[in-house]
């Protein structure tokens, strides 16, 4: 069974002092997630904030167990790359 998922998350970041630094970090996160998890990704909120990044990813999996493994692995990767903490996340089947 093929499963499509939408995963939205908000990250709190501390050590960013300009929007240029934030864009660099957002692009690093996007590149990593697209390359390693084969997902579509968009920055969906807080574009002008220096303290938050909000993104939405969508991906397809062939089993429900794999869907949760991918989400968990993505969460760990996001926190490691950003140096921040995921404050909130939403997870929905499409």
pTM of the prediction?
Answer: 0.91
pLDDT tens for 9-35 read 999 999 899 999 999 999 999 999 999
Interatomic CA distance for residues 84 and 61, integer angstroms:
27
Torsional class of 83: left (φ above 0), alpha (ψ -120 to 50), beta (otherwise): left
- Which of 28, 44, 41 has the alpha carbon at shortest distance from 81? 28
pLDDT tens for 28-86 read 999 999 999 999 999 999 999 999 999 999 999 999 889 999 999 999 999 999 999 99
Q: How far is CA 19 from the centre of its chain?
A: 18
């Amino acid at each position: 069974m093929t499963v499509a998922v939408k995963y939205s998350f908000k990250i709190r970041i501390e050590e960013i002092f300009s929007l240029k630094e934030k864009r660099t970090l957002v692009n690093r996160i996007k590149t990593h997630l697209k390359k390693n998890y084969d997902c579509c990704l968009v920055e969906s909120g807080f574009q002008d904030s220096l303290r938050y990044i909000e993104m939405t990813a969508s991906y397809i999996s062939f089993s429900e167990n794999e869907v949760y493994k991918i989400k968990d692995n993505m969460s760990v990767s996001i926190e490691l790359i950003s140096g921040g903490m995921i404050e909130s996340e939403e997870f929905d089947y499409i």
